[in-house]
Structures are given as C-alpha cells and as structure tokens.
Amino acid sequence: MEEFSLYVLDITMNSVRAGADKIGITLEEKDGMLTFSVSDNGCGMSKEQVARLSDPFYTTRKTRGVGLGVPFLTMLSEQTGGSVKIESRSEAEYPDDHGTVISASFGIDHIDFIPLGDMIGTVITLIQGSPDIDFTYDHITPAGTVHLSCAEIRAVLGDDISLGSFEVLEWIRGYLEEGYAEIKH
Amino acid sequence: MKSLEELMAIKAKMKDKVAIRQASDEIRVVVGMATCGIAAGARPVLNAFVEGVADAGLTDKVTVTQTGCIGICQYEPVVEVFVQGNEKVTYVKMTAEKAKEVIEKHIKGGNVVAEYTIGNVNV
C-alpha cells in the first residue's frame, strides 16, 4: 500500500470486524518516530491467535485463506526501524474487560517510510461504514493535535441522525480539514 | 474552527427529512473494503459513490455500504449493485471515474455498464 492512511484504515477495520463499539485511533509524531495505535473493546483474541498474527497464512476469514493486514503493517514498521506490539484480552477469558490494542512505530524520515496520505479520507470511510461506532481520532504532532470524537458529535445530533449521513460526513470532513490547516503553520 | 452550531443547523435541517424518509433501500451499492480492496484502491471508489449519490440527490433511494472480502481479490476494487427486482451486478477493477459513470448510467439511467462487469474484464 502506497499511503500510510490505508494501513490505518485496514488495521482499524480489524477492530470493526471484532464487534467493537468504541475504537480509539492515535497517531503521534515525536522525535522522528511516528507511533500509530488502535485500541478497541471488541471480542479480543486468545494468546494463540495473537501469536499467529504475523503468519500471513493465518486468518479466521472463510472467503480467503490469507490474512495480510498485520504482516503488511509489521513489514513497514520493521523496515523503517520500528516495531509492532499487540495486546489482547479475549471475551471468553475476560467477559467484562475485553479488547485489543495494537501499536506500531515507524521512522518518519526513513527512506522506506511512505507518505501519510489522505488521513481524512480514512476517518470518513470508517465513520461512513460504521456510523454507530464511537471512534475517537487523535493525530498528535509537535505543532498541535487534530482531535475528533464521534461520541461528542452524537451528543449534539441526538440518536435520530446517523453520523453516516452525507451532510454529517461533510461537516466532519470540513472539521478535520480545518484542524489539519491549523497545525500546518 | 468549524462550529458545533453548524452541526445543530444540520440537525434541524435533517429532522424533517428523517420524518419523511423510510428505509426504502431501492438500490444498494456495496463496496468491498477488506485488505485486498483497500490495497487495490477501494477507498476513493467508496467516496466517489457516497459523494455521487448525494450530489444526484438520491440518498433517499440509494444506500452505499461496505463489506469485507468476498473472495475475488484479484478483481478488487469490487462493487456490487443491487437494484430491487433485478439480479445483482458485480463491477470489478473499479476506479472513482468508473464509479461516476456507474452512477450516471446504471443508478440514474437504469442501464448496466456492461464493460466494467465481472464477465467482461480480464485480470
């Protein structure tokens, strides 16, 4: 994948498919490293499942026998001098406190790192696909932070209006564009 | 900063629409958004459908949704169009440009864009 934002979309989709209703996405740029993490309250994974995540021939999906999301992320991370960490608590073992946190670091200035790309497009795509999930998005840079919380937006809109409606998605796009314009200076 | 007042205005405007609107689901557009789809360029295709349907004023009639991997990764980005009473149409190797054409000809005009369908594209 040519844009980092597509890795963010792909990895976050794992949390969506794990049935999470709260998903936090954080990007933090500091001292030449970018740390990306996604935490969710989805069904989680057993220790055995976590151990097999870096194996591209492991997947629980039935339509295709390979799972490349985490291997892609790990490859980019390790190529640029970073590492990937996954912690998970399965619903079976921790019925009241389950979920997964994946975090990966990257050398921003490493020659093998790729452009961040359209992060706003990724956030919009996630909300469009799962308007009922409470996503939070924080992109922390030395120049400032871009923050979005679906729960805050939902509190204004009430329950009758979907975050996936076009008008709301356009507002979110404008909000994020302004946020990014502010930290550009 | 974009204000929450603006969001309130959207809410007020949409309240009326919610009342009239029934989940009609006349036409469903489903875009594959698994690793295979995303890597092949599904995100701009999805956004083109979301924007195109809204621009055409068809949000009451057409729903755009996402799905996982359907098992034909070599054909991604894959888009399935379900029109009530008709057979499913599977578009493959989609782009944002092709999406605009499908909205114009198929969704608005009722004519399948045969050249982009799975039977007519080689991989």
The domains of chain A are located at 4-184
Query: How much is the pLDDT for B92?
Result: 97
Question: Phi-psi category of A167—alpha, beta or left, where left has phi over 0 and alpha has psi -120 to 50?
Answer: alpha
Which residues of chain A neighbour B69 with C-beta distances below 8 Å?
61, 63-64
Q: Please count the other Cβ atoms lying within 10 Å of the Cβ belonging to residue B72.
A: 16
At the topology level of CATH, where does A4-184 sit?
Heat Shock Protein 90 (3.30.565)
Given pLDDT bands bounded at 50, 70 and 90, which one contains residue A117?
very high
CA of A16: which chain B residue's CA is closest?
B68
**Contact state of A165 with B11 under an 8 Å Cβ cutoff:** no
Nearest to A156 among B7, B47, B53 (CB): B7
DSSP letter (8 states) at residue A13: H
Which residues of chain B neighbour A165 with C-beta distances below 8 Å?
14, 59
**Contact state of A166 with B7 under an 8 Å Cβ cutoff:** no
Distance between CA atoms of residues A38 and B35, nearest Å: 16
Structure tokens that stand for B65 in this block: 């949704």
Distances (CA, A) of A84 to A101, A168, B109: 11, 34, 49
For residue range A65-115, list pLDDT tens digits in order.
777 889 999 999 999 999 999 999 999 999 999 999 999 999 999 999 999
Nearest to A6 among B18, B38, B70 (CB): B38
**Contact state of B35 with A166 under an 8 Å Cβ cutoff:** no
Percentage, residues of chain A above pLDDT 70: 99
Whether A59 shows a pLDDT value over 60: the answer reads yes
- Average pLDDT of A123-151? 97
Q: Is B103 in CB contact (< 8 Å) with chain A?
A: no
Given pLDDT bands bounded at 50, 70 and 90, which one contains residue A160?
confident
Give the β-pairing of B27-32 and A144-149: unpaired
For residue range B75-114, list pLDDT tens digits in order.
999 999 999 999 999 999 999 999 999 999 999 999 999 9
Structure tokens that stand for B45 in this block: 């295709």
- Check: CB of residue A45 under 8 Å from CB of residue A88: yes
For domain B23-120, the CATH architecture is 3-Layer(aba) Sandwich (3.40)
Query: How much is the pLDDT for A149?
Result: 96
The one-letter amino acid code at B56 reads A
Reduced to 3 states, what is the DSSP secondary structure of residue B84? coil
Average pLDDT, chain B: 90
Return the ∠ at Cα B54 (arms to B50 and B55), rounded to 5°: 115
Q: Which residues pair with A26 in a beta bridge?
A: A37, A138
Helices first, then strands: H and E counts in chain B: 4, 4
Answer whether the bond into residue B77 is a cis peptide, omega within 30°: yes
- Average pLDDT of A1-26? 95
For residue range B17-71, list pLDDT tens digits in order.
665 555 567 999 999 999 999 999 999 999 999 999 999 999 989 999 999 998 9
Nearest to B11 among A9, A161, A179 (CB): A161
